């Protein structure tokens, strides 16, 4: 749930003027990270030369994209194997599905 929502406008100093101005709502969150994880994010932010906030946003986006890719791959394999009556393969797919959904 967003901590707060802010509207951001780019004025003369922001580089956009006149009809190019647009209003953009941003969600802001406060997150707590374990010290080891915070250190990893700091190293990543330093490596890509960006702020911690942008680094966290990029890592979250990459994680969500990776999760979607894993789901897409799983369902592709499931569709390919639906015609098979191989019990071992069915058990393996069930285990993969459980891991995908529950993260275990």
How far does the chain reach from its first CA to its final CA, in angstroms? 25
pLDDT for res 25: 73
Task: Give the pLDDT confidence of 19-45 residue by residue, as tens digits.
Answer: 455 567 778 888 899 999 999 999 999
Task: Give the pLDDT confidence of 39-88 residue by residue, as tens digits.
Answer: 999 999 999 999 999 999 999 999 999 989 888 888 887 777 776 777 77
Sorted by sequence, the CB contacts under 8 Å of residue 3 that are 6+ apart come out as 27, 28, 29, 30
Nearest to 25 by CA among 11, 10, 8: 8
pLDDT for res 1: 46
CA distance 55 to 32: 15
What DSSP string runs through 13-51? GGT--GGG--EEEEEE------HHHHHHHHHHHHHTT--
Nearest to 102 by CA among 71, 59, 66: 71
Quote the tokens at residue 4. 């707060």
């Amino acid at each position: 749930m967003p901590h707060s929502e802010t509207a951001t406008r780019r004025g003369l100093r922001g580089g956009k003027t006149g009809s190019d101005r647009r209003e953009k709502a941003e969600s802001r969150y406060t997150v707590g990270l374990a010290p080891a994880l915070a250190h990893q994010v700091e190293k990543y932010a330093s490596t890509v030369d960006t702020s911690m906030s942008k680094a966290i946003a990029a890592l979250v986006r990459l994680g969500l994209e990776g999760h979607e890719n894993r789901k897409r791959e799983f369902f592709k394999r499931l569709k390919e194997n639906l015609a098979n009556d191989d019990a071992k393969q069915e058990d393996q797919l069930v285990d993969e599905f459980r891991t995908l959904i529950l993260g275990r």
